[in-house]
Amino acid sequence: MIMSTSLCLGACTQQGEKLEEKAPLIGRSEVKVVNGILAPEVLYSLARVSDAKLSPDGKKVLYGVTFISIEQNKGNRELFVVNPDGTGKQQITQTPKSEQNEVWIKDGGEIAFLSSESGSSQVWIMQADGTNRRQVSDYEGGINGFVLSPDETQILFISDIQYGKRTPDIYPDLPKASGRIIDDLMYKHWDEWVETIPHPFVASFDGKAIGAAIDILEGEPYECPMKPSSGIGDLAWSPDGKQIAYACRKKTGLEYAISTNSDIYLYDLASKTTRNLTDGMMGYDTAPQFSPDGKLIAWVSQERDGYESDKKRLFTEDLVTGEKQYLTTDFDYDIESIQWLPDSRSLYFIACKEALTHIWQIDLDKQIRQITSGQYDYIGMDAVAGQMVAVRQSQEYPTEVFAVNPETGEATEISFENKAIFDQLSVAKSVPRWIKTTDGKQMLTWIVYPPHFDPAKKYPALLYCQGGPQSTVSQFWSYRWNLQIMAANGYIVVAPNRRGLPGFGQEWLEQISGDYSGQNMKDLLAAIDEMAKEPYVDADHLGAVGASYGGYSVYWLAGNHQKRFKAFVAHAGIFNFEQQYLETEEMWFANWDLGGAYWDKTNAVAQKSFTNSPHRFIDKWDTPILVTAGELDYRVVAGQGMSAFNAAKLRGIPAEMLIYPNENHWIAQPQNGILYQRVFFNWLDKWLKN
């Protein structure tokens, strides 16, 4: 379908080449750390590093840094380049609007990126040093992401289109009516009413302008890429630029809400025909990547429909014969971020094993080797010309860029964006400890000790309850649930990899489904009970904290903890399963994890789940609780938290609630984040330090 709206036919905007003439709206702030403590204001002053990319010749590294202004209550992302040895670092953008989706072009001589500097998000180009910055698109509705063809003569981009009809479309005489007429699921998702969906378009590109756009889904009412977390990485060019692979779940309404069955499609630009490469593969199929020789395509595949936490497997397919190969048959862990090596015979990927996330390599003969090592999480990597760069974090240090030797795994930091702050901080130590569970298994638990820990003293302790529910407690760094700041406030943090978390094999992962109130709760209690035996833990001052599934865990423990804890904090947690089943949006999740609908009296798994809903144990609540929630959260609606708070107050239990009218499942705005940290520690200190 040819779109009537074309892109900019020329260089739409020119800007001066001297970046120093335009001061950044938000940039790096000078931070003075008091007494070496990671305070909330210090946490939100850290630079947030992301997306390291090597130039085509491997001589430069491009990455982004988001700087936060607490005063202005927002962030701004700027771009940097540095040599692979860490020398020659240069900030190449200084603008009031964030730069995103940056890519090297013209053999590393230029950089293309997205910016909303002119209003909507559009494609811009600049020299590799940041000069000669110019806008090259003016697409109505804006551009969400893009990737250029290998010869850089075409551009594949994402833009939103209208989904369904608005009320004024049905009743033109009521243009100001705000009511939404809804006749099917799924009408809301995470934090938005679904009135637009992303679509992929392709157009010609000559480095100065972008031509008329073709919707490669030909107007189909399907979301591509898939919300909420997929992006341009779910689309890829063939090496010859003649085909586009994309992942899409071609379903709408109720069918969409109950299914995770997406497929990998191959679109031929010449014939404008589409072929389904994964027909009959019933789970999520995502992240297609062509081999450099164009003969194979690799992608990430999950086996079962409706199970979003199923094992993420690596598959390849011969594009001539159609023969598929499951490469990670003997690898019992999820794979992410795949990238072909130049020989088209092997791939890099990232995987978490035993709560550590590293870079791996696999060849077509299924031989696997781990490249990196250590107590870290690698969350992204890029390899070019025998070189590799990666972004890495840990519970002790936020994300930075590292040069990695792909043969030895040796990693060397090259960005140092947060060194000035961390040189002033006393860092809390994170230590792994294997704890025996009630059924005789070994569970890896991270113990984070306060800075300057003294084993001769006694410390209050916090049981950290992970969300997900199937999301590893790895060496993550978070700006909301940060274990470092908890320890900095004088708490020993106990963070177990309870049943239901990936990184410990499928059996460990899958045990939780249909058993929310079972073994994983015993695992949580086993961890805190074991640590409470230590002479340096004040067993009379224990707390439990968590968000999402972790919030549910706190609500459940509140009625089933046998007086272990003296304080609770629950954010965005499920309090009433029956309420949640009919309020949430991704019904495949509720059906799989809870076992089905609560009205199905013949379903033993579902009945067990709903019988053990936290709200059914409110009569046993006896411990002070802080409840927090966002009113834009459509996954676990704020009413769940309000119900829990109201129940606690009606029972006469000390309770406090922090409610955000403008936050979703997470807390994204800086001042709201700092407010959260202050309320969080004020509450815990009140009940655990007095």
Report the share of the chain in percent with pLDDT over 70.
97
Residue 10's pLDDT is what? 31
With respect to residue 423, please indicate whether it lies within any of the assigned structural domains: no
Q: What domain range is 674 assigned to?
A: 428-688
Residue 270 clears pLDDT 90, i.e. is over it: yes
Number of helices (H) and strands (E), helices first, in the chain?
13, 39
Report the pLDDT value the prediction gives residue 8, as an integer from 0 to 100.
36
pLDDT of 75-134, one tens digit each?
A: 999 999 999 999 999 999 999 999 999 999 999 999 999 999 989 999 999 999 999 999
Name the amino acid, one letter, at 243: Q
The partner residues of 235 in beta bridges, in order of sequence, read 246
Residue by residue, DSSP assigns 517-546 as TTHHHHHHHHHHHHHHTSTTEEEEEEEEEE
Q: Which residue has the tokens 């035996």?
A: 533
Give Cα separations from 330 to 301, 306, 307 (angstroms): 15, 23, 21
Calpha distance 266→251 (Å, rounded): 18
Tens digit of each residue's pLDDT (9 = 90 or more) over 6-61 = 333 233 333 333 333 444 478 888 899 999 999 999 999 999 999 999 999 999 99
User: What's residue 323's pLDDT?
Assistant: 98
Question: Among 550, 547, 617, 615, which Cα is nearest to 578's?
Answer: 615
Helices (H), 177-288: 253-257
Residue 365 lies in a domain: no
- The verdict on whether omega for the bond into residue 642 sits within 30 degrees of 0, i.e. cis, is no
Model pLDDT, residue 30: 87
Task: Assess contact for 499 and 444: CB atoms under 8 A.
Answer: no
Beta bridge partners of 442: 436
Active-site amino acid positions:
548, 633, 665
pLDDT in tens, 285-327: 999 999 999 999 999 999 999 999 999 999 999 999 999 999 9
Residue 486 covered by a domain: yes
pLDDT of residue 567: 98
At residue 559, the pLDDT reads 98
Residue 513: predicted pLDDT:
96
Tell me what pLDDT residue 25 has: 72
Is 124 contained in some domain?
no
Predicted pLDDT of residue 229: 87
**Contact present, 494 and 486 (Cβ < 8 Å):** no
**Is residue 221 scored above 90 in pLDDT?**
yes
pLDDT of residue 4: 29
DSSP assignment string, 480-505: SS-HHHHHHTT-EEEEE--TT-SSS-
Higher pLDDT, 336 or 2: 336
Q: What is this structure's pTM?
A: 0.95
Q: Which residue, chain included where needed, has tokens 């157009």?
A: 203
Amino acid 522: pLDDT: 98
What pLDDT digit, counting tens, does each position of 499-521 carry? 999 999 999 999 999 999 999 99
**Is residue 409 in a domain?**
no
Q: Quick check: 70 and 674 in contact, CB under 8 A?
A: yes
Tokens representing residue 350 in the block: 């990232």
Q: Number of structural domains, the chain?
A: 1
Diameter of the chain by CA atoms? 76
Q: What is the CATH number of the domain that holds 623?
A: 3.40.50.1820
Structure confidence by residue, pLDDT tens digits, 621-663: 999 999 999 999 999 999 999 999 999 999 999 999 999 999 9
The predicted pLDDT at position 184 comes to 96
Does residue 452 sit within a domain? yes
* Per-residue pLDDT at 199 exceeds 60: yes
Cis peptide before 228 (omega within 30 of 0): yes
